[in-house]
């Protein structure tokens, strides 16, 4: 699936990168390269929501990133 949104860093727990999605949801980014992880960057991400994933961040569903492009 493809999701558009803004990349943000949240200082909770150990610190976590999220995508503030245009669909109104917040996704925890997993597997993103450092080029993706830039505060305020608008991107379109190609990836899958891992419904079985759980973690320490607890900020929203985990989005496993396959690829992305900056908007």
Partner 1 sequence: MTPAVTWMRARWWLSGCLALAVGCTPVPARTKVSQPGNSRASAVPHALVIDFRDGTPAEEVAERAGRWGLPLRLNSVEGTRSGIAIAEQVEDVDAALAAARADPDVEEAEPLVTVEALAFTPNDPEFSRQWNLRMIRMPEAWELSRGKGVTVAVIDTGIAYEDHDDFVQVPDLAGARFVSGYDFVHDTDHPNDDNGHGTHVAGTIAQRTNNGLGVAGVAFEARLMPVKVLDRSGIGNSADIADAIRWAVDHGAKVLNLSLGGPGYSRVMERAVAYARSQGAVVVCAAGNTGTGQVSYPAAYAGAVGVGALAPDGQLAPYSSYGEALDIVAPGGDTRRGPGNGILQATIDRGDYRKPVLAEYQGTSMATPHVAGVAALLFAAGAKTPDEVERALFAGAVSEGSWNPRAGHGRLDALGALQALGARGPVDWKPLAWSGVLLVLLLLSIQQKLRPGYLNVILNPGTLLPLLISTVGLWFLRLLWQRWTGHSSEAVELLSLPLPDWERILFGRGRLASPIMYSALLPVVAALLALRWRTLRPVVAGLALGFAGFLLYAAWAKAPGIAYLPFTFLARPWLILNGLVAALVCRTMLRREARR
- Report the interface residues with partner 1, using CB under 8 A: 10-15, 26, 30, 51-62
For the CB of residue 37, give the shortest distance to partner 1 in the complex, in Å. Answer: 12
| CA pair distance 62, 30, nearest whole angstrom | 7
Report the nearest approach of partner 1 to the CB of residue 17 (Å): 10
Q: How many CB atoms lie within 10 A of CB 55?
A: 13
Give whichever of 5 and 69 is closer to partner 1, judged by the CB atom. Answer: 5
Residue 52 and residue 38: Cα distance in Å, rounded? 27
Given the complex with partner 1, which of 55 and 69 has the nearer CB atom? 55
């Amino acid at each position: 699936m493809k999701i558009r949104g803004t990349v943000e860093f949240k200082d909770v727990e150990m610190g976590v990168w999220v995508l503030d999605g245009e669909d109104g949801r917040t996704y925890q980014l997993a597997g993103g390269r450092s080029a993706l992880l830039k505060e305020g960057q608008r991107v379109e991400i190609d990836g899958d929501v891992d419904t079985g994933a759980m973690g320490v961040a607890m900020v929203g569903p985990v989005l496993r990133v396959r690829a992305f492009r900056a908007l």
